[in-house]
A and B are shown apart, each in its own frame.
Chain A
């Protein structure tokens, strides 16, 4: 029994240390006074807890605004992208229109285009559309990398839904619309949730586009705001940076904690035969 436990919890503990160390470090740095950051008898402990970094972050910077911006952009681009992806995936899988194979491949190929090559030419387009420095513009921009991915994920998921369901509904005279919304949609929920979680995370983490296309302080996202406003000249404000990082990952933790099972089921659905 003990051996069995050791074999389970031993490796688990090692993983825990490796995977969570940087977060422990964030937590530690957040509550550590500046003096202890550079000189401490034991860097893994805090000797005088302080909340000055958190209050500094919340009062001296526009962190809350950035947080709200990120939340808005991530949520909106997730909803928009997952919706578009769902109807696209359905069309490709079930409505075998001429060219659907080509579309499916094209959408997949779209996913492998790295933002690093796109953002200069894309900038020209953003300017022409008068989207520059408009927070909502990030929604369609993020959709360019979310839609291909979510579509691909949902194609895998929808494939596994038995056709009989639709055929039975069709016999009963249901239109395609009805099938899409009343029959397939409820079944696809786990897949949609997993696509949403992915989208939310990818949007939450995005850096390059937000850095280049947003410029006013009021339109920044958390990552961009923190890097551009908290690194002052040649001093890292470690306390504030780590406090911001810590608060910045909270939404993601909550989402995952509640939906982790859906997520696993969703991925499972999309890769299983």
Chain B
């Protein structure tokens, strides 16, 4: 990296300056020298991560890795998988005690096998201190209160926001996006009447279906479990959430029950959809279609009766297995990658696909460079964790993997099941899962 570039980074994030910035000509080397992590001699690392949601992610990540290799002489092999395939691969590595040194996994992954993971406390605290600390959800997902240590290094979330067509919302009487659930329902009805319905997945779409159903459930104050992991799904709040969802479903485009993650993107980009929930990808890829691009807006989803931010986003963090021969090198790699000179171009290059868990990166200029990016900046701040308000861990992960909440909504909306039957079904399922 050349000097002027580096200086730019220095100016941009004073909070995020690591030791790297004090050095002269060889920033990476110098930062390594000041780092508390001393890579093992002859170390070589294997990283398993999810394939970037946008090409720029993989490209910048690879450039940063090349810088790391050049500075430290440590070879890093990167394997990238389609994002839902990482969790099984990580679990397999845990099971057999061999595989990649570092895995960038999802949500509760580290809690499924905490005793197989290297203690990440030193790294997480070092990085946290250097970059403004973590958002609460990051702490929940990566700090294991039972063993009282960090088991994973927080990275961020793939944020969700509502995506809609401005002109069609206006046509339905909403020049501004509604601020509450009632308004949102009115908007959805208006859109439907004008032939530009909304659409939210009720199929087994890992990102989309979980995203909006949890938002509605939590928005009404419903929750899956209590902090002691007793099941709390059977409540008046859940009932309200399901009744609301049913009304919303009536305004939706046909077919949402079969939607996987790409379906709403396709429908929106074809101009068939007036409103949906998604990551930034719809807006980003609409650039190819100028007439849609100018008309798309992303907004933070309105608050429900619980009067708080209740979005659910898939959270990613990096953990190191104990079988790794080079844990120090692995930590140094993660520290390096999350340090400003690397993380800034990475986050900036992705334009909002991943919202960092570190507060220091919420100030990057990219977040305010376009009003449609800003909602994704806040994806971390108010995000809740899966299984809310229970404990993160195996049970929560399984409930999510088995789509218990999504199916509860789909049963009511699509299968015409009575609300109380649907809740009872989910309650029974959750009881089985949490009892294991």
**Taking CB as reference atom, which chain A residue is nearest B264?**
A234
In the complex, are the beta carbons of A132 and B85 less than 8 A apart?
no
Residue A23 interfacial (CB < 8 Å): no
Residue B207 interfacial (CB < 8 Å): yes
In the complex, are the beta carbons of B53 and A234 less than 8 A apart?
yes
Residue A42 interfacial (CB < 8 Å): no
Q: How far is the CA of A215 from the CA of B266 in the complex (A)?
A: 30
Known: A132-B99, A232-B51, A235-B281. Is A227-B82 also a contact (CB below 8 A)?
Answer: yes
Q: Mark A232-250, 1 if CB is under 8 A from B, else 0.
A: 1111100000000000000
A120-143 interface (Cβ within 8 A of B): 120, 123-124, 127, 132
Known: A232-B51, A233-B83, A235-B285. Is A127-B97 also a contact (CB below 8 A)?
Answer: yes
Residues of chain A with a CB closer than 8 A to B158's CB: 233
In the complex, are the beta carbons of A229 and B80 less than 8 A apart?
yes
Contact partner of B77 (CB less than 8 A), chosen from A39, A123, A216, A234, is A216
Residue B417 interfacial (CB < 8 Å): no
Residue A110 interfacial (CB < 8 Å): no
- Most B CB within 10 A of own CB, among A232, A233, A234: A234
In the complex, are the beta carbons of B92 and A123 less than 8 A apart?
yes
Q: State the main secondary structure of chain A at its contact with B.
A: helix
B240-278 interface (Cβ within 8 A of A): 261-262, 265-266, 269-271, 278
Known: A39-B271, A215-B89. Is A234-B208 also a contact (CB below 8 A)?
Answer: yes
- What's the minimum C-beta distance from B155 to chain A, rounded to whole angstroms? 16
- What's the minimum C-beta distance from B413 to chain A, rounded to whole angstroms? 21
In the complex, are the beta carbons of B82 and A124 less than 8 A apart?
no
Give the interface size bracket for A toward B: 20 to 34
Known: A127-B96, A234-B53, A234-B278. Is A38-B85 also a contact (CB below 8 A)?
Answer: no
Residues of chain B with a CB closer than 8 A to A124's CB: 95-96
Contact partner of B51 (CB less than 8 A), chosen from A38, A228, A236, is A228
Known: A228-B82, A234-B207, A235-B265. Is A39-B278 also a contact (CB below 8 A)?
Answer: no
Residues of chain B with a CB closer than 8 A to A38's CB: 266, 269-270
- What's the minimum C-beta distance from A138 to chain B, rounded to whole angstroms? 16
B72-104 interface (Cβ within 8 A of A): 77, 79-83, 85, 88-89, 92, 95-100
- What's the minimum C-beta distance from B10 to chain A, rounded to whole angstroms? 32
- What's the minimum C-beta distance from B112 to chain A, rounded to whole angstroms? 15
Q: How far is the CA of A127 from the CA of B96 in the complex (A)?
A: 7
In the complex, are the beta carbons of A233 and B89 less than 8 A apart?
no
Known: A124-B95, A234-B53, A234-B279. Is A215-B48 also a contact (CB below 8 A)?
Answer: yes
Residues of chain B with a CB closer than 8 A to A127's CB: 96-98
- What's the minimum C-beta distance from A243 to chain B, rounded to whole angstroms? 17
Contact partner of A215 (CB less than 8 A), chosen from B55, B95, B100, B278, is B100
In the complex, are the beta carbons of A236 and B96 less than 8 A apart?
no
Contact partner of B92 (CB less than 8 A), chosen from A212, A229, A233, A235, is A212
Residue A217 interfacial (CB < 8 Å): yes
Residue A231 interfacial (CB < 8 Å): yes
In the complex, are the beta carbons of B51 and A34 less than 8 A apart?
no
In the complex, are the beta carbons of B288 and A34 less than 8 A apart?
yes
In the complex, are the beta carbons of A233 and B54 less than 8 A apart?
yes
Residue A265 interfacial (CB < 8 Å): no
- What's the minimum C-beta distance from B280 to chain A, rounded to whole angstroms? 10
Contact partner of B55 (CB less than 8 A), chosen from A35, A231, A232, is A232
Q: How far is the CA of A231 from the CA of B262 in the complex (A)?
A: 9
Residue A179 interfacial (CB < 8 Å): no
Q: How far is the CA of A215 from the CA of B278 in the complex (A)?
A: 29
Residues of chain A with a CB closer than 8 A to B265's CB: 234-235
In the complex, are the beta carbons of B51 and A233 less than 8 A apart?
yes
Known: A34-B288, A127-B97, A215-B79. Is A232-B207 also a contact (CB below 8 A)?
Answer: no
- Most A CB within 10 A of own CB, among B51, B92, B265: B92
In the complex, are the beta carbons of B99 and A233 less than 8 A apart?
no
Residue A260 interfacial (CB < 8 Å): no
Residue A211 interfacial (CB < 8 Å): yes
Q: Mark A213-224, 1 if CB is under 8 A from B, else 0.
A: 001110000000
In the complex, are the beta carbons of B80 and A39 less than 8 A apart?
no
**Taking CB as reference atom, which chain A residue is nearest B261?**
A234
Q: How far is the CA of A231 from the CA of B80 in the complex (A)?
A: 11
**Taking CB as reference atom, which chain B residue is nearest A217?**
B79
Residue B52 interfacial (CB < 8 Å): yes
Q: How far is the CA of A120 from the CA of B95 in the complex (A)?
A: 9
B266-310 interface (Cβ within 8 A of A): 266, 269-271, 278-279, 281, 285, 288-289
Residues of chain B with a CB closer than 8 A to A232's CB: 51-55
- What's the minimum C-beta distance from A220 to chain B, rounded to whole angstroms? 10
**Taking CB as reference atom, which chain B residue is nearest A34?**
B288
In the complex, are the beta carbons of B96 and A123 less than 8 A apart?
yes
**Taking CB as reference atom, which chain B residue is nearest A211?**
B85
Residues of chain A with a CB closer than 8 A to B96's CB: 123-124, 127, 132
- What's the minimum C-beta distance from B65 to chain A, rounded to whole angstroms? 14
- What's the minimum C-beta distance from A86 to chain B, rounded to whole angstroms? 34
In the complex, are the beta carbons of A228 and B81 less than 8 A apart?
yes
Q: Which residues of A contact B (CB under 8 A)?
A: 34-35, 38-39, 120, 123-124, 127, 132, 211-212, 215-217, 227-229, 231-236
Q: Report the 4 A-B pairs with minimum CB-CB distance, sorted nearest first.
A: A233-B53, A38-B270, A234-B261, A127-B96
26 example contacts (A-B, Cβ-Cβ < 8 A) are as follows A34-B288, A35-B289, A38-B266, A39-B270, A120-B92, A120-B95, A123-B95, A123-B96, A132-B96, A215-B81, A215-B89, A228-B51, A228-B80, A228-B81, A229-B80, A229-B82, A232-B51, A232-B52, A232-B53, A233-B52, A233-B53, A233-B158, A233-B261, A233-B279, A234-B261, A235-B262
Q: Which residues of B contact A (CB under 8 A)?
A: 48, 51-55, 77, 79-83, 85, 88-89, 92, 95-100, 158, 207-208, 261-262, 265-266, 269-271, 278-279, 281, 285, 288-289, 353
